[in-house]
Structure 1
Amino acid sequence: MKRAGVVLPLSLLLLLWLPLCFQICLGGDTLKATQKITDQRSLVSSNATFELGFFSPPGVKSGEKIYLGIWYHGLHPQTVVWVANREDPVADSSGVFRIAEDGNVVVEDASRRHWSSKLQPSSSTNRTLKLLDSGNLVLMDDSETTYPWESFHNPTDTFLPGMKMDATLPLTCWRDSADPAPGNFSFMLTQKEGKQSFRVQNEEQIYWALDELDTEAASQMVFNLLNNDTSATKSYNYSNKTLFVSQPSMYNKSRLLMNSSGEIVFLQWDGKESQWNKEWSRPEDNSNSFPSNGESKFQGCTRKPMRCTNKDVTFLNLTNIKLGDPDQQSYTKTEAECQSTCINMCPDQQCQAYSFNNSIYGDRGSYSCNIWTRNLPSLLENYQRGRDLSILVNTSDIAPTAKSCEPCGTYAIPYPLSTGPNCGNPLYNKFNCTKSTGKVSFMMPGGISYPVTWIDEDTRMFFIQPDYFNSFNSSFNPQNSIDSPFHVIENNEGVVIKINWLPAPEPPCSKLIDCMNWPYSTCRATREGESRCLCDSNYKWNNTIMRCTRLCDSNYIWNDTIMRCTRGNHSTRLKLILLVTLGSLATVACITAFGIVWKKKKARKPDRASTRIQESLHESERHVKGLIGLGSLEEKDIEGIEVPCYTFASILAATDNFSDSNKLGRGGYGPVYKGMFPGGQEIAVKRLSSASTQGLQEFKNEVILIAKLQHRNLVRLRGYCIKGVEKILLYEYMPNKSLDSFIFDRSRTILLDWPMRFEIIVGIARGMLYLHQDSRLRVIHRDLKTSNVLLDEEMNPKISDFGLAKIFGGKETEASTERVMGTFGYMAPEYALDGFFSVKSDVFSFGVVLLEILSGKKNTGFYESKQISSLLGYTWNLWSGNKLLDLMDSCLRETCNQNQFIKCAVIGLLCTQDEPIDRPTMSNILYMLDVETTTMPVPRQPTFFMTKRYSSSASSSTNPEISLHLDTSYQQGR
């Protein structure tokens, strides 16, 4: 009993001491002028809701970028609501937060000051910092009754209860989740003519605006939060003075966040689920916001002035528009009366627009005519609860001319752009107008349409908005997808794509009357045989103003503004030309001199690691001719390595240290892994194995030369890595694996119907034609096979593995080697037996791949009968017996086009003829595939694979060195 009597007082003492210990450990909520906050100390508000200290954002290595901030104490993950030095982080853990001698609050380290409250210098020695329960960090001074500085008056991206929004308090988003520096979007309050408006701006342009409140409860909560309507006044006694502070009546862990995507979000903490719940956000979807580039048709423009008149006017009709309240409202029974009211307001007032509303309630009707007389505010399209709006305009402003298409919604369609066959120029007929919504779309090759967000006639430029998925799709390459006369000039990460169109040539015509709208022109045939409205004598086509202009005498020049020749000052023109020429020469000389000095300066201070890599690569390029047999290819063609060099550490991180779970398969080069870089970019990583049949020569071949090839049917090389004995290639990731994993797998081959197989055949042919003829380098692949044809997410074929490729310069088309490398079953006879190869060697391999696609059977390991041991022999026998349809993969019976199938089978036999001279070129093959009916040559019987199955040992015993290998296909794709 005595012992229990002792324990009880000790327990009570411990309970009383714990809260004091808690405050001591955390550092309290106050910082005096003689104290400082370091990386090891923080302030915590009295009710332990908020904490102030140094932190590193998620994704940043601890100790590299240090910021001072305020966050919710005890919540996970860490939720930061305020950052001091958001534009200037401390490089290490040596940062200090304190009250400086001049009275300012500062973040500094031993070298310099990173942030300051920027107050006027003060000699006061009694300043104190306090972290309030509201999350407000305040600077208190015994000589003042208000705070000299507080964080609530200097917010970053978060609005907390207790703050009050005004025009001087914008919220600016973080640049991204790992960088608190100011981003592009800001949330702010504006006041105009007694009305307040909340808006989000993308730099200087309006991205989203809210002129009126929604009726939903969450919207009202946000409004109350911004106006501090839930606040109460609390007094603080400090140094014999009373400070009155506006504070929210309850701290329910709610906040308003301006995020880096342009969304303003109201969040509340769910204690049960331990997560932030989104209660409200704006814009609700992209249709309620202006385009992220800020160049919306409703914003950033000034309306053309109108005379107050009711003559020669019309209305531009828009649907589902959100805008502010009307200036006048009256009651009319018909829209025609409302329209007449708007037109006839002159001369008293100028009507800008009207909106007629008729609603039926039972047997009664409600009619209203809303009219706007002031300049229209910001307009938002496709607003779900928007109204139909008719804007008064001059007829001449939107009426189509005889040569241009009529407007589509708010978009004027300038000539030569065309939305149909009867307007604009047929060469530019890639646009579509949806009249019900007033939306314009641009048609890409393949039939995919993307919305047009801006058209600028003066710069011959328009913007399209690709969908979110395609913006992260590595195969979506608008540069490769858009044909002339359109060209991509800027691709902003797939968010907004800027496209310009070439100036239009003379308009096409079929008869004389077609040129009536083109003065001084006549419908005549060009040298190419096309009929166009060609300019008459003494006139020439001006593609800037798109009309025929007069040829001026030597002393005159054409003036586009007044549309006639004006006298030119010859001496002035000569002086101007001379001045421009001399100025250009001086500029070029300065730039050249600067470049030489900069290059020499840079050469004096080389980075050791990069120097070693560059020396290795330069050595590779210096000897690349000898290594891979370039013939007469010029040195200037191989000077640059056109893909980036990645660090070995970044590849280890992307592949999780080459873990087995990321292993996709193994080829002749070595193992292949799936990797993922920060940001979600997937890659295929090929690691050179010490036991590989391919070595340094093939590695250099891909890095230095094949990287120059770009085609939609070739796999793109994304980069490389050299680290000691490690030699690594990085490719775009192909999620659907290789072609052989489909056609030779009976459970998956049914996924490839005939139309899909035919498109794969054509795609491979196009890729090979590019290698042989259309690229800047003539390339022979030497290892084309089904396992080296990969399939992207849309089942488009992409040729891969260029390690054995040979590049020819000039007019070279053939060569020979004593080191024969390839895959048995796909090698042409002249290459496998004699080491002789040419573009026709690839044609042979293509023929084998084609027959394997048709039959679903491998050329090697073919056991149809004892007499026939190859797919080629089997196909020839079916051809001889007029039974080619028996070659068909059984799963193609229902979808197959028999004429196309037989044509492809015959092409396969033509490609696999013994003599190279008998085989067609890839251009001939594509022509035969594209043309419905064509006369085809009769194939000769192939003998190389007819009755005898060759082994690698048999081949190498009687011929130059032959290295044969069979690549296993990927398990998950690459």
Structure 2
Amino acid sequence: MGLVQNTRMSVLLVLLCGFCFESGSATDTITSFQPIKESDYIISIGSAFKLGFFSPVNSTNRYLGIWYNKNSTFPPQCVWVANRQNPLKDASGVATISEDGNLVVLDGQKHKIWSSNAINSVVHSNAKLLDSGNLVLQDTTGTTIWASFQFPTNTLLPNMKISYNARTGKRDLLTPWKSPSDPSIGSFSSGMKPQSLFREFFIWKEGSPFWRSGPWNTRIFIGVPDMYSVYHNGFSIGEDPDGTFSLSFVYMNQSLSRHFVLTTQGNIEIRYWDDEKEDWEVGWKALKSECDVYGKCGAFGSCDSRSLPICTCLRGFEPNNTTEWSRGNWTSGCVRRIPLQCGRINSTGGEADKMDWFLKQQMMKVPDFEEWSAAPEDDCRQQCLQNCSCIAYAYDTGTGCMSWTRSLIDTLQFSSGGVDLYIRLAYSELDKEGDVKKIVTIIVVIGTVSISICTFILWRWIAKHKAMKKKAKGILLFNREEAHKKFPSENMLGDNLNQVQVQELPLFNFEKLASATNNFHQSNKLGQGGFGPVYKGKLSDGQEIAVKRLSKTSGQGLEEFMNETVVISKLQHRNLVRLLGCCVEGEERMLVYEYMPNKSLDAFLFDPHKEKLLDWRKRFYIIEGIGRGLLYLHRDSRLRIIHRDLKASNILLDKELNPKISDFGMAKIFGGNEDQANTNRVVGTYGYMSPEYAMEGRFSEKSDVFSFGVLLLEILSGRRNTSFNKDEQHMSLLGFAWKLWNANNIMALIDPMISEPCFEMEILRCIHVGLLCVQDFSEDRPNVSVVISMLKSEIVDLPHPKQPAFTERKIALNRDSSQSCSINNVTVTMVQGR
């Protein structure tokens, strides 16, 4: 009888233990008796966070991570990863407490893959996931001996601290994932600036500054102008007695799920949970434009994203290297135009009225390497003035007196916020006029002359306008003989001129287009191309139009105007933009098109907010549409046309996001027996031109196929071909794609927005086709009809692509240059969104 009772008790104990282990996956704690395996997880007591094993997108590696429990998407967006540098290769991982009391991750052979490595660990400890997202290792009394918050990965959660100890040099850093499929440490890092009196937050790229917040003034970072509207009352910086100061944030409304993420591209983003979309949205990011990149304009340069060019020298300074500066390479910065007089005057007793003085620059991001002084605001200027080494100063209520004795680097002009920066200049650089009578006299003289000039100009304009109206009645749009006279060298129109009766194209008068565009008002401007500005207009019957107006300063001119009109006046295809008419009055040359409400493809593809609208189906539809339009130009239209400037900004999108090829100013008409041609005038855009065209002036259908291949890879990756920095390994997107292809890691090229397993084979096929289109030699590239068959899988077996063009530096192209290494005349467009 006793034996039976003992047996029953044993069975009951086994069942109870089994129940405990079964329910262990739903607890918030890991112990040596309650480990978690691949299919298990733990959830914080308030169900805010979950910990378990996961695989990133496009990866089979396994990691132990923490993510928001409400995040229904999988793989989840993890806020912390344990074994990010040492992944599990299969689904045999176990997270448990080791014999020495540390939290460890073991593989199938019980080998230690990762450990918390707590110095003061104790036996019988446990790991608990808190509702803050912090994973803590506790002893039997509940004392924390290790915490995941002390070892951040790429995410800063509320109440997490990013610390720096000025005495020991120990600091915490956020480090991004290397890629969306690889959580290992990338090339960026972010944290508090070490060895500085000012508390500043930095992003570094491979150890060099990439972005900075500006000093902390006890309320905000003064280098983040929109901090009031973004952070509200969330940030704080505290200092401990041991010399450790820490940055943390917490929102008053703690029910909001918000956190900061350091992305793989080196940007800091605020992400918040959108309950309606059931997804994470980006609410703010540190780098919004090129100006936010550290030191974009070099020493003594100032950056303003609203201006073109974005970089200018500070007042009293000039470019250090004029040639580089004119090409858009501003890294060499600026140098002082006139030396300061401070040292000479102090030593020679010069006149006081010739002293250096300060120029006030408002709403500025203060430069780096600031020095602090306890001087009050009234004494800050005088203190800097008396020190000949001091070249600028600024004062902020929370920060105090700041001064600079080194080069002024990373200076920005804000549209709002910022502080007043006072820059020391030589007396002769300042617009200081002591004689009030001189000022009054000059103003009166200038005013009188200006009024006289304006009156004369107005009279001339009225007279000229009347004459133009009379003359417009007799204007003939195009005359064949004039066309051949203007372009005898290239015979631009050739025999095809007789095939196109351009005189049938509707002729708009200037007044009608001026009325439709509100006199070409700036608010109606849609963009700016090489031809000139483009305006939105509405005719009297309500039809919306786009008016391209030839700029008098344009590098392109009447030749491109006539060329575009002749080429597309009679072309009709759903994937070509439709020309409605033109205007030729006096010096005015305008083309009138159907209006495209969604502007160009690049406005969607390279915008982090709009690109979400382009899912894979929509992108493939756009790819097919561009291919159909190109096939029509090459083979199906009555004129055989080579576009020569196919790129994302020349693909317009209608209200249904249907693609339409535009901008035929560079196009060439081929005769019936022509396959290729040469030109001594290379036109097009860097990054899209085929090598034989860019270097030898030779173009054919295969030139457009090369441009289509580049565009195809941009659509699939969501990156511009020219988006790679000079210090990166790859010259272009083509080089990057080729490296991934050879490494059997081409999945890393795909834009995460379209990366879904169900479309994987279709996307990979398109990448394969794109690489075939950008091969170095034109004879290796397929023609457009073959490309379309490949995309539709009508051709099943695709050949192996050969090395693309420009993956090695075969041609001395400088992306900052506006000139091309072509034969003679050059017309080159830089890649810009319209």
User: For this structure pair, what is the TM-score category when the shorter chain's length is used for normalisation?
Assistant: 0.3 to 0.5
TM-score, normalised via structure 2 length: 0.42
TM-score, normalised via structure 1 length: 0.36
> Greater relative contact order (Cα 8 A, min sep 6): structure 1 or 2?
2
Larger Rg: 1
